[in-house]
Each structure stands twice: as C-alpha cells, then as structure tokens.
Amino acid sequence: MVRAVPPFLQRTAVLCLAAALLPVAAACGPTAEQLESRQATQSPSATGTPAPQEIPAPIPEPEPEPPAPPPLQVGVSGSQAGMAGQVQAECQWLLRRDTAPFPAADAGACVSAAMVAGQGARQSVTTMASWLPPDTYSMDFRTAPGFSMELRSPDAGLEITIDGDSRILRTGDVAVAANADGTPEEAYAAVLVDAAEITGNPERLRGLLESARPAVVDYEADFNGVPATKLTAVIESTEPGEFTGAVVLMLDDLYRPLLIDYSGTTRGMATSIRAVVTDWGSGSVRR
C-alpha cells in the first residue's frame, strides 16, 4: 500500500531539484560577460558589418603637350628686297633655307607665285623627243594678268598661240583650234598646245610639282655663272600616258625659273624638254 506524500514535502522536493539543475543550465550557454567578450574580439565581417575598402589613389592625367610653335616667318633683304609679298608668303621654306625636301604642294605654290609676280619672260625651248617635234623654239609668254604665250619654230613652220580660251596651232598657212575631243587634227593640235605651255604656264608647272615627290633643294647651285636655288623633283604618275620622270628647276633670287628641265617618258615614249628663261618682267607677247 502506497503512502501519500504530504504537500509540504512535494514543494521541498521541487525546490531541491531546481537547485540541483541550476549549474547544468549555466553550463549550457555563455554568460553575458562571455558574450560581450566574444563580440568585442569578433572581426567586423563576422558581425555583418562590411570592412572598409581601400580607395585607390587617382591616376594623374598626362600633361597636355604644348602646341607646336608656328613656323618662323622670314623677311627678305639684299637681292631679294623686291620680292612680292605673295611670293614671300608661299616661299618661306626657301627663305628659311630649310634643308629637308621641299613639300610638293609648297614647292608648286612657291614657283607658281614667283612666275606670276614675274609677269612674263622669254624662253628658248629645246625638245629632244615626244611632245613637241624635236627642235629649238622661241617663246614669249605673259603670266599676269592671265596667261598667254606665243611659241615659234626657227623657220616659222610651226606656231602656237594661247590667249584666254583661244588655243591655236599654225603649220604653214593652216590654223587649227586645239580640241582634245574634236577631229583628229584638232586632237593633235591639243597635244602640241598642251606640250608648248608646260614650261610657261604657272598653273601647269604647279600641277606637275604637286604631283611629284618632295623636291630636293640645293641652295648653293650655279646656273651659267649666276647663283641659283636648284629644285629636283621626281614624278611617278599613276595615270596611263602621263609624264613620269624628273623635273629640275634653277631659280633666281626671286625664285623665278632660269631653267626648266623635264626628262622622262610620256605615253611610253622618251620625253625631254629644256627651257632656258630670260628677261623676266617683260611680259610681252607678239601679235
């Protein structure tokens, strides 16, 4: 027979059991002091706070290069004192006596401006092959205002005149207007007229120099005992039938041609034209 436990004994037993379990409960988790210590020693990343990232130092941009100084502008004096302003502007390369090859476009502009400023002159034109029939011709030409010329053979068997839009070939008593798209006679006249003006027309000479490689310059050249500036330019045409070869110019103090010498090939044939230029400033054309 089971004996009943008095109530006060039951309460006493519960209190004793709770007291006995307190050390066990304390052993199941950290105390408040332990939690604070752990949080103090944990890294920021372990607590969920991101670590501060190091910001890279900005890379300095390179200093801009200073702009290139403008080319030195050179004046004239002495034997060049009478040089026209346009020639001075176009021929600064020669006035500065630059030793590098003369850029093609600048060379063409310089010589063309000098010829226009010279107003006109006379030429003795010798052809060896192609273009004009082989002979020595005399030419009077004017470069300003506008271009005009008259070329004649010694026996007057051939004469070519250019004045504005008029371009005429005369052989004996026959006169033919040059027209590359006209009759065979007119097309042939156009070939001869084009060849005749190549040493006198500033724009034709300019075009040839602009199609060439940069010209080699010799500032200490001599032409028939006269100090000269020598330009040598090589032309390599990419168009069938066009002139391919070398152009040599001897220039006086005002950069007007004293000599114009072409040698090469045209339409597959040997070509040689040599023009000696005198009497700059005459600017006259016979009528």
From the centroid of its chain, how far is CA 286? 41
- Residue 253's pLDDT is what? 96
Place of tokens 């033919």: 176
- Going from the C-alpha of 206 to that of each of 112, 115, 179, 279, the distances in angstroms are 6, 10, 23, 21
- Residue 271's pLDDT is what? 86
Q: How far apart are alpha carbons 213 and 141 in whole angstroms? A: 28
- Residue 21's pLDDT is what? 44
What is the dihedral angle through the alpha carbons of 285, 280, 82, 258, rounded to the nearest 10 degrees? 150
- Residue 273's pLDDT is what? 93
To the question of pTM greater than 0.85 for the whole model, the response is no
Place of tokens 């040997």: 270
Q: Where are the domains of the chain?
A: 78-278
Q: Do 228 and 251 contact (CB within 8 A), yes or no?
A: yes
Which ranges of the chain would DSSP assign to H, the alpha helix?
A: 7-27, 32-41, 85-90, 92-95, 104-118, 184-196, 202-210
Among 146, 145, 173, residue whose Cα is nearest residue 159 = 173
Digit-coded pLDDT (tens) for 97-109: 999 999 999 999 9
CATH of domain 78-278: 2.50.20
- Residue 259's pLDDT is what? 98
Termini Cα distance of the chain: 168
Give the type of residue at 194.
D
Q: Which tokens belong to 190? A: 């156009």
Mean pLDDT of successive 10-residue stretches along the chain, which has 287 residues? 48 45 46 56 52 70 72 80 94 96 96 97 89 90 95 89 95 93 94 92 94 96 96 88 90 97 87 94 63
- Residue 269's pLDDT is what? 83
- Residue 267's pLDDT is what? 78
Burial 115-129 (b: 16+ CB within 10 A, else e): bbbbbbbbbebbbee
What is residue 184's three-state secondary structure?
helix
| DSSP 8-class letter at 125 | E
